[in-house]
Amino acid sequence: MRKPLVAGNWKMNNPIESSRTLLQKILYNAEMLDSILAKEENACSIDIALFPPSVYLREAQEVLTGSDLHWGTQNVSAYDEGAYTGEISASMIKGFGCDYVLIGHSERRCLYEKLELDQYVLDQIVAEKYAQAISHDLTPIVCIGETKEDYESGKTEQVIARLLDILIEHKGAHSLSKAVLAYEPVWAIGTGHSASPEWAQQVHAFMRARVAAHDKKTAQGLRIIYGGSVKASNAAAIFSKPDVDGGLIGGASLDVEAFTHICFAAALHQK
């Protein structure tokens, strides 16, 4: 069975209240949720991971240590150390008690695209960061998704396959047993227009099949989560699909009640 994962990406947002207060409220609701789920016949436990801005990592460590919640960073350097101003290495991330890291989020890809790097080069950078995370026992959540132009021209599978093949080339298909994939249709992120549950299922199934062509066992256990305007109102429909194992949540992760509702929806759909 695949345990659902709900990951909250705060992006570069300041909570309305203090970050410590938000962390405490999310933790409290998560603990209350466990009590509720224990009484639900068809519910399962889930993993919850939070990704605050790096300046809040110390607070995340202080509030969440000893709990069942996970935390991580929104990026990781492709290098161990050196003259890379502004970068954060995997070993530094581990020092804050993190066990997850986001890699290849479309909003970071946009920054690289302004440097006019082509998509193949960007995928290679993602693969190098992926290798760093794996080698430091961090669980990478690797974001993969197509732009509106790719979507409208029918290139979704081509875009997905390119990065998956590069990851497998770098570390082998079995390495994905230590990772999570996040399907992120770029045209849906932050727009309020989520992909339909049917479209999410189609793409997730393609991703799993692509990995299965190399390693069926790894593909069967691989968690593939959906990211792209997941809200309390649509989470249950998306998570009900057989190849959707949770969500990468943006804006709604800053709303305690909405985030809790999304976590509850995930807990009702273990695969």
Active site residues: 105, 184
Name residue, tokens 């110390």. Answer: 58
- Helix/strand/coil (H/E/C) assignment for every residue in 69-119: CEEEECCCCCCCCCCCCCCCCHHHHHHCCCCEEEECCHHHHHHHHCCCCCH
Q: Are 81 and 106 in contact (CB under 8 A)?
A: no
Please state, in angstroms and rounded to a whole number, the distance separating the CA atoms of residues 144 and 128.
15
Structure tokens at 5: 């994962």
Please state, in angstroms and rounded to a whole number, the distance separating the CA atoms of residues 236 and 234.
6
Structure tokens at 1: 């069975």
